[in-house]
Amino acid sequence: MLSCARWLRRPLTPPCRPVPLPLRGVFRTRAVVQRPPGSLQDVGYIAWLSKEFSPTGQRPRPPHICVCGWNSAGQLALNNIEPPCVPHLTMLPPWPGVRRVNRVACGWDFTYFVVEGDASSLLVCGSNKYGQLGLPSSVSLAMAATAHPLGTAHRIIRAAAGMRHGAVVTANGAVLTAGQGRHGQLGRPLADAASCDFAFEACAIPSELSSKTLVACGTQHTVIAHHATVWGCGANRHGQLGRHPTTRAEARRASTLLTRLTDFSVPIAALHAGWSHTTAILANGQVQSWGRRDYGQLGAPLDVDSSTHDSADRLSCATLRVPDGTRAIALGSEHALLLTAASPARILAWGWNEHGNVGRPPTSEPIVETPIPVPTHGQPILVLAGGAHSIVLQV
């Protein structure tokens, strides 16, 4: 598969410095919004989760979802696919019985909503061509937010969406996946290696997992973390499962079963996946990344001799130490934004910058291999990254 950088090679002049958006009213975030790891400028989209929205001088309204971007498969939950492009933030009407929206996971052309309410804890919309919604094969797409039966039988607490597959975590820590499993990214063998699974099924992972289980989906790989341990499955062509292949045969080999990658010395606080790389934020604020690195995606050189890992099962990763600590990270297809934990917070960025998505002129720095500061217009509180663009929410 071509890298996102090659797919997005176009003669254009993007803004390479943060530009304020003319949003009126008050937006306050309360939950995680995951952008699509492989999104492109033409097909990527943003799902904006707001805790409160109040036009100036009016009382706050209940939580709402605001959406914009490409909607050709109904991934914006607007109950239609016309127009296919929504260029402005559009607020979705409240869903009956839904009291709270906890998380939103945005895939290539599908979306998961993790909610609290009177019925299902999982709503899905968008394309189901490869089974990524976990609905029967007779359902090609869902234009409206559809209550998934899985969310009725189990309380879903987290979700992750990749290119053509996704994963959810239940309250007891079980991880279930659905969608395309051609590269083993579902974490279980399929009858046909090139087939898809149109139902959420559990991965074969240890029983000691709990509600603290984390999951992230790249385009062709899946990673799961619990406490200080990481498991992975799927494609490993670029080392996104933690072991950089040394031969072509190794590069083509995919892992259809979850493989224990490593045990860190401290717990993992957050887990993210880009196009072909993975990043974990440890409880001590340290950032560990592994996978593709030819566009500076890891933000630091590989440290294969790091004493952080067991010598018998060492993860080939890059260690990024942030003196101010790390509050959050957003991974684009091949670039990253980091929000520091210090007050006032700062934004650091690195990786592929061909379209100014790292905040520097692409003509002078098409690749940024180490973190650089990004100037902001206020106090940043949230970072988001798409295929070739970045967003910072600030107050």
Model pLDDT for residues 191-214, shown as the tens digit of each residue: 765 689 999 999 877 667 889 999
Count other Cβ atoms within 10 Å, centred on residue 263: 14
pLDDT (mean) for 248-272:
84
pLDDT tier at 242 (50, 70, 90 boundaries)?
A: confident
Residue 291 has pLDDT above 60, yes or no: yes
Residue 121 has pLDDT above 50, yes or no: yes
More confident residue, 347 or 59: 347
Q: Identify the pLDDT of residue 16.
A: 58
Whole-number mean pLDDT of the chain? 81
pLDDT (mean) for 165-176:
95
Q: Identify the pLDDT of residue 349.
A: 94
Contacts of 76 by beta carbon, 8 Å cutoff, 6+ apart: 45, 47, 67, 68, 69, 86, 90, 111, 125
How far, in Å, CA of 373 to CA of 337, rounded?
A: 10
pLDDT (mean) for 219-231:
93
Residue 69 has pLDDT above 80, yes or no: yes
**pLDDT > 90 fraction of the chain, expressed in percent and rounded:** 47
More confident residue, 99 or 250: 99
pLDDT tier at 261 (50, 70, 90 boundaries)?
A: confident
How far, in Å, CA of 181 to CA of 131, rounded?
A: 10
Q: Identify the pLDDT of residue 165.
A: 97
Count other Cβ atoms within 10 Å, centred on residue 328: 20
pLDDT (tens digit per residue) in 144-169: 999 999 999 999 999 999 999 999 99
Q: Which CATH class is domain 24-319?
A: mainly beta
Strand 32-34 to strand 98-106: parallel, antiparallel, or no bridges (unpaired)?
A: parallel
Collapsing DSSP states into helix, strand and coil, what is residue 384? Answer: strand
pLDDT (mean) for 21-35:
47
Q: H-helix or E-strand containing 222?
A: strand 221-226
DSSP class of residue 299 equals S
175 closest CA partner among 196, 203, 151? 203
Q: Identify the pLDDT of residue 18.
A: 59
Give the domain ranges of the chain: 24-319, 322-395
pLDDT (tens digit per residue) in 311-342: 334 567 899 988 889 999 999 999 999 999 98
Give one DSSP letter per residue of 122-148, joined into a string.
EEEEEE-TTSTT---TT--EEEEEEE-
Q: Identify the pLDDT of residue 227.
A: 92
